[in-house]
Structure 1
Amino acid sequence: MSRETMAERQARLEEQMRALSAGVAALVEQGKEAAESRRRGYQAQEETRIEIINLKHRMDGMERAVDGIKPTTLELERVRDRVMFAGKLGQGLWSVGKILLAAAAGAASAWYAVTGRPPP
């Protein structure tokens, strides 16, 4: 093994210093990229937080609106039930009316057939 000269040692040290400098530069660049990535992550997180808050406000408004129309909805249900009952009652009365008209027409026809004159 030969001894290295001072110039060789200096060249080797300079090469190591350049490698070390390049490594530090790469670490600095990675640090900048990591900081930028974290900044974008925090920004996206903040935008999501704001959007969630807006959705919560809209949901609260929707709940208040639904609570506000609840009495109207209950009244509408009562009216609907009354209308359905009135419709069924009307159908029943119409059926009874048709039967009464048919019976009256039958009675008039029978009167005419028996007496030969129109009913009084």
Structure 2
Amino acid sequence: MADGTHLAELRKDVDALKDQVRVSSERSEKHIEEIRTIIAALAVHHSTVGASSSIEGAGNFQTSQQQGYQIPTKCSKVEFPKFDGDDLRGWVFRCEQCFEVDDTPLDVKVKLAQCT
């Protein structure tokens, strides 16, 4: 009888763990979808800002494009934030600050964010 009770407790624990994994997975999927939405919005915003820049601004953009973008080295004082699953908007804000400091092009932004 004790074995039956122990087995029932183990099954109950396994079921609880399965529920926790399911909830965590659903939460992760929700966060991933939010990240995709924000990245898409950032891409649209970046395209809009680039298209509406003044002639002088466009000249500066072309000059920086001609020089090419160099990914920051390990000597950079700015550390790219890592996403820990919480505060998605705060993480995106910190990422944008890093991108602004390093003058990061849009196509590199996504690659850098994926590396974290």
TM-score of the superposed pair, with normalisation by structure 1: 0.42
TM-score of the superposed pair, with normalisation by structure 2: 0.44
Structure with more of its chain in helix, by fraction: 1
